[in-house]
């Protein structure tokens, strides 16, 4: 028996199951007809149905053995179904195929809940379509959906559903949708996976003149997992109040009315599932004089404590926890106290554990660190305009304010060695994971909207760089291309990628007009500038499929090449929309209008900074057609690209998050049903080809926590291919991000994976 199990992925013939089947017949099941014997043949048929296409990798005997351990006399049918799913999940570590089998078993349960029918004995296409049309009609009747959803030809759309695409989900992807995304009404489940995709497509196509055809087009790119919108779009598309945006960026004014309005605004934005980023740099510092009442201010920290408590008070009923981040420019007089907000020691009245904090860093500070110079803190009301300046203009004003301070013209200031402050920032980063370090000057110098305002902060995930003011709260509308689904026959499928990008840009632009805006300032900003953020995910998957190691120069070349293609078609796609729908309101005077594309801004940054920017210039595509189209028709969107973390939508899509290398080759995933071990599916596939995949090797992987270096039987080529994130030089990962970044008109969410505790390297 042990010899049979030494190699993972061999199916068991039914003759091996006879003893267990007899054993299981001893159990009785509680059904509508009372207590009945457990139908073992039905159980086996279910496993075989769920294993279709994966028979060679699945051991039905092991699944039934594990199920037997989790059933009892008098068990209900639902409990048997759950036991079968959990039994299958337990073997995902042996082979990814078990993940797809578990997903089909979960689908069987979902199908029964939605349709009342058993998937094994039903016309799935018919029942699927009926559930979809009934769900939309019922959702409108109950006030859940927008009434305009009935303007679609529901029968026509039902015929366009492709139930076979449910097989694209692995267990964790479908489980995530089932628990967090599929809509329920009074706990009644009424969405199936393809109906879910179509509902989202309809919600995004609701204003289209040819809405039925566009809904099908949008449905196809999503259901094939080529492109997936961000979580708020998936949750709310088609609903009566369709808040489809991911993040909001605000600026807070130095007035009590503005400050307390900020709390109210934050609550509304958090309520509607948006992440909130607040810029608080304009608030006067501790000890600054409040002229109207002639007393000293208590500074910034007490106000941020209220931001923290507001964030903690908003909970999306477990579907999406409220999240916010506070940005502060590094010259603010309260900055050192700001750095301590996330510490677990000290006065709790001056701590904020439920918000994130980020530093907005001008290039001048980094120059002072390199030159071992001093750094001066100011209170913002004494250095007017400083927060709105960047680059050379900021540097000139800052030097002038420093001179005024030394001559007695400024009352509240403090001077510290720049290196000392930098060490403190890195110490806090090491201790608490905060503050996130973000850079003011490149965000503004490279911004397409430098003519229309200032970028005062980024967002929760540091990929959005949009202008903010008291009148405009920036809104980011996000979605990501799954690169894993665009590689075929060992190369990137450019034709499919082009179609996906242009469809995604249209969907994102539609979001702006459909969106429910929590406060007026969000509408003002979004309607004036119409920014969107198209990103990517599955970069690691694409490298595996192409046979490129993350630590190889080819990885940087691929990042450069694929992002150039994304930029090319995203910009051209927005320009095509401008031809059809008109340019965005503030287009005139933008970098787009001045024929300055993202790749052109590297030279602008180098000139502004006065230091070389070591990024390779140029690309492989002919950009003349894009520039010509822009010159003739302009742009529909002020910004088109941003790479977000994609944590949840990459789980749905079954790929690795955004631009990151694999974190671990073996790891534990957890959901509401429990925990299970997952092994890198690409690694298993390669080990199978070499005849090396076995229970013994699985045990070695577990013992070494996924690190292949200590496993002698694995060839060096595979060890190089399957390096984990912490085994790759973090500086090399930054080089890859920089190569990609030259094409992006916003920014990227980049995590630094650093092995060890070297403060110097950090």
Pairing of strands 478-482, 533-537: parallel
Helix extents (H) in 53-96 = 60-68, 77-89
Q: Residue for token digits 């979902």?
A: 110
Measured distance CA(166)–CA(162) in Å, rounded: 8
- Exposure class string for 55-80: b at 16+ Cβ within 10 A, else e: eebbbbbbbbebbbeebeeebeeeeb
Going by C-alpha positions, the residue among 127, 223, 219, 108 that lies closest to residue 171 is 108
Q: Which two tokens stand for residue 126?
A: 């018919």
Beta bridge partners of 30: 35, 76
How far is the C-alpha of 582 from the C-alpha of 164, rounded, in Å? 39
Q: Cα separation of 670 and 673, whole Å?
A: 8
Residue 265 CB contacts under 8 Å (≥ 6 apart), including other chains: 250, 473, 518, 519, 521
Strand residues in 310-399 grouped as ranges (E): 324-329, 356-361, 374-378
Rg (CA), the chain: 28
Non-local (6+) Cβ contacts of 489 within 8 A are none
Per DSSP, which regions of 538-587 are E strands?
none
Query: Where do runs of H (alpha helix) occur along 407-436?
Result: 418-432
For strand 436-439 and strand 413-417, is the pairing parallel, antiparallel, or unpaired? unpaired
Joined tokens for residue 384 = 């007017």
Separation between Cα atoms, residue 76 and residue 73, nearest integer Å: 9
The Cα–Cα gap between 395 and 609 comes to 10
Q: What residues are labeled active site?
A: 459, 461, 463
User: Going edge to edge, which strands form the sheet with 356-361?
Assistant: 436-439, 356-361, 324-329, 275-279, 247-251, 474-476
């Amino acid at each position: 028996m042990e010899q049979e199990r030494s190699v993972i992925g061999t199916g068991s013939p039914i003759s091996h199951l006879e003893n267990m089947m007899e054993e299981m017949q001893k159990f009785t099941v509680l059904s509508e007809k009372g207590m009945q014997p457990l139908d073992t043949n039905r159980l086996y048929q279910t496993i075989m149905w769920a294993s279709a296409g994966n028979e060679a990798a699945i051991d039905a005997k092991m699944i039934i053995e594990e199920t037997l351990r989790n059933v009892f006399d008098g068990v209900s049918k639902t409990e048997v179904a759950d036991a079968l799913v959990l039994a299958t999940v337990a073997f995902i570590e042996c082979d990814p195929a078990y993940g797809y089998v578990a997903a089909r078993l979960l689908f069987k349960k979902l199908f029964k809940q939605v349709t009342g029918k058993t998937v094994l004995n039903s016309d799935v296409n018919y029942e699927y379509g009926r559930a979809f049309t009934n769900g939309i009609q019922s959702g409108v009747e109950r006030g859940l959906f927008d009434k305009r959803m009935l303007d679609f030809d529901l029968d026509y759309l039902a015929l366009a559903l492709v139930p076979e695409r449910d097989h694209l989900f692995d267990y964790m992807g479908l489980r995530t949708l089932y628990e967090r995304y599929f809509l329920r009404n009074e706990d009644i489940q009424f969405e199936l996976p393809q109906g879910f995709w179509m509902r989202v497509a309809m919600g995004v196509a609701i204003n289209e003149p040819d809405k039925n055809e566009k809904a099908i087009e949008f449905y196809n790119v999503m259901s094939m997992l080529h492109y997936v919108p961000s979580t708020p779009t998936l949750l709310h598309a088609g609903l009566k109040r369709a808040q489809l945006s991911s993040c909001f960026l605000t600026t807070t004014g130095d007035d009590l009315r503005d400050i307390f309005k900020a709390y109210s605004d934050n609550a509304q934005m958090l309520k509607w599932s948006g992440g909130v980023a607040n810029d608080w740099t304009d608030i006067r510092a501790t000890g600054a004089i409040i002229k109207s009442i002639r007393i000293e201010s208590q500074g910034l920290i007490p106000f941020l404590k209220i931001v923290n408590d507001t964030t903690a008070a908003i909970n999306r009923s477990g579907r999406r926890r409220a999240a916010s981040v506070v940005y502060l420019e590094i010259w603010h007089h309260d900055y050192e106290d700001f750095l301590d907000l996330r510490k677990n020691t000290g006065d709790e009245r001056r701590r904020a554990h439920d918000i994130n904090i980020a530093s907005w860093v001008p290039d001048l500070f980094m120059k002072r660190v390199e030159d071992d110079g001093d750094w001066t803190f100011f209170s913002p009301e004494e250095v007017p305009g400083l927060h709105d300046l960047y680059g050379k203009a900021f540097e000139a004003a800052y030097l002038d304010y420093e001179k005024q301070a030394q001559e007695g013209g400024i009352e509240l200031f403090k001077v510290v060695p720049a290196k000392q402050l930098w060490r403190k920032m890195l110490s806090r980063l090491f201790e608490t994971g905060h503050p996130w370090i973000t850079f003011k000057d490149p965000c503004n110098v490279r911004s397409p909207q430098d003519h229309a305002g200032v970028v005062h902060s980024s967002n929760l995930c540091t990929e959005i760089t949009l202008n903010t003011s008291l009148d405009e709260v920036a809104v980011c509308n996000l979605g990501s291309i799954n690169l894993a689904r665009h590689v075929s026959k060992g190369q990137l499928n450019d034709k499919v990628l082009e179609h996906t990008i242009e469809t995604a840009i249209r969907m994102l632009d539609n979001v702006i007009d459909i969106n429910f805006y929590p406060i007026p300032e969000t509408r003002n900003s979004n309607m004036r500038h119409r920014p969107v953020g198209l990103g990517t995910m599955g970069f690691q998957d694409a490298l595996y499929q192409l046979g490129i190691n993350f630590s190889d120069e080819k990885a940087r070349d691929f990042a450069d090449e694929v992002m150039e293609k994304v930029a090319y078609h995203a910009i051209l796609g927005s320009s095509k929309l401008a031809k059809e729908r008109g340019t965005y309101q503030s287009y005139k005077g933008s970098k787009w209008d001045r024929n300055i594309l993202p790749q052109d801004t590297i030279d602008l940054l180098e000139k502004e900074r006065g230091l070389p920017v070591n990024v390779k210039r140029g690309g492989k595509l002919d950009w003349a057609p894009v520039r010509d189209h822009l010159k003739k028709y302009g742009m529909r969107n002020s910004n088109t690209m941003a790479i977000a973390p994609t944590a949840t939508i990459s789980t749905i899509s079954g790929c690795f998050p955004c631009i990151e290398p694999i974190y671990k080759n073996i790891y534990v995933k957890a959901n509401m049903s429990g925990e299970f071990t997952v092994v890198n599916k690409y690694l298993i596939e390669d080990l199978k080809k070499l005849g090396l995949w076995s229970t013994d090797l699985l045990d070695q992987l577990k013992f070494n926590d996924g690190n292949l270096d200590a496993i002698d039987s694995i060839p060096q080529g595979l060890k190089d291919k399957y390096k984990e994130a912490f085994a790759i030089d973090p500086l090399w990962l930054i080089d890859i991000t920089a190569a990609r970044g030259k094409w992006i008109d916003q920014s990227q969410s980049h995590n630094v994976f650093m092995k060890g505790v070297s403060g110097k390297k950090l």
